[in-house]
Amino acid sequence: MKLATEVTLKLNNGRTIPALGLGTVPSDDPKYVKDQVITAIKAGYRHVDTAWYYGTEKYVGEALKELFDEGVVKREDVFITTKVWPSFWHSPEKSLDQSLKTLGLDYVDLLLQHWPVCLHGDENGQPTQPKDSEGNLKYDDDPAEGTKFIDVYHSLEDILDNTDKVKSIGISNYSIPKLHQLLPKIKKHVPVVNQIEYHPQLPQQDLVDLCNENGIIVEAYSPVGGPGAPVLKLPLVKELAEKYDVSVNEIVDAYQILNGRVALPRSSNLERIKSIIKLPPLTKEELDELYQIGAKNPTRYTNDPWGYGLGFKWWEGDTLSKKFD
């Protein structure tokens, strides 16, 4: 059987991205991420997804240093992504510089705008979740109608053009309305990816179609639906795992990869990380059956408040998005 760890996808700038990437949101103490990265790379993964916000860059960096020093992989063999958090929206290059220093790297392969939102952070992006006296998020720009988030993407373009610190730039958590705002304003570089929640229960085909039309690869975060792994309880996922004699995780990642998307699973369980590497050859009909689950009954598991007002469908608690209806 083919290995998911060996599949690469072509980005719109001619570079390639490994289709399976290890997520690094910490489950508990972020220091455990070091062993997770080492385990994944030794098992064949060549792509690690981190972010300034996660607090795990230090441990990703320690893992990479050990792997480089031991000669397991070279820098150019691995694809490293980090992101600029909304409270650091005013200084993307400073955020990147902090990330590079913490990671111990000269460059990242991909820098993403984490959310198309501008939160009120200080010169070091603190606090990361600023609140007003009533406990509501404090913004520097209206999340539904503001346009400062476009300036952030322009800064990423400038970093790409004027430095050697990034190989590619992209976006994350861009809804259809936000993409419609951004795309006509791009200076030169169309984002190579849009990282969004994606799994069989949340296909968001209209958003994926818009990304595809513009050459933007979709990266699927929360491929099992996040903590509790609700997506893995779907009877069809279990049935397919038995049929192909693979793990349930490998079925949901194959659903992404065989459709030309990047899958970003994470696990605090080292044995599980090693068991998420095969690419079962799901048929077109099976891929469609998985798609139909969410097309008929969509379920979103990420409903963070900084996603309010962005125009995502099925975003629980979001009232601002109605402006885009």
Q: Is 54 among the residues known to form the active site?
A: yes
Q: Is residue 200 close enough to count as binding ligand NAP by CB under 6 A?
A: no
Nearest residue to ligand NAP by CB is: 23
* Selected catalytic residue, list 32, 45, 53, 54: 54
48 or 123, CB closer to ligand NAP? 48
Beta-bridge partner residues of 219:
195, 262
Smallest gap, in angstroms, from Cβ of residue 134 to ligand NAP?
25
- Within residues 99-158, the interface with ligand NAP by CB under 6 A covers 114
- Within residues 24-53, the interface with ligand NAP by CB under 6 A covers 24-25, 27, 49
Q: Is residue 16 close enough to count as binding ligand NAP by CB under 6 A?
A: no
Q: Is the CB of residue 306 less than 8 Å from the CB of residue 115?
A: yes
114 belongs to an annotated ligand binding site:
yes
- Within residues 211-270, the interface with ligand NAP by CB under 6 A covers 221-227, 229, 232, 248-249, 264-269
155 or 222, CB closer to ligand NAP? 222
Smallest gap, in angstroms, from Cβ of residue 133 to ligand NAP?
27
Number of residues in contact with ligand NAP, rule: CB under 6 A?
A: 27
Q: In a 10 Å sphere around its CB, with 0-12 CB exposed, 13-18 middle and 19+ buried, how is residue 42 labelled? A: middle
Taking CA atoms, 145 is separated from 47, 117, 171, 290, in Å, by 35, 10, 18, 35
The closest of 92, 85, 41, 83 to 62, measured between CA atoms, is 41
24 or 95, CB closer to ligand NAP? 24
Q: Is residue 59 close enough to count as binding ligand NAP by CB under 6 A?
A: no
Q: Is residue 82 close enough to count as binding ligand NAP by CB under 6 A?
A: no
Task: Report the distance separating Cα 318 and Cα 304, nearest Å.
Answer: 9
Task: Report the distance separating Cα 272 and Cα 257, nearest Å.
Answer: 19
Identify the residue whose tokens are 């150019």: 76
Work out whether the CA dihedral 115, 121, 126, 129 comes out positive or negative. Answer: negative
Length of the chain: 325
Identify the residue whose tokens are 């992404």: 256
Report the catalytic residues: 54
Residues that bind ligand NAP (CB under 6 A): 23-25, 27, 49, 114, 172-173, 195, 221-227, 229, 232, 248-249, 264-269, 272
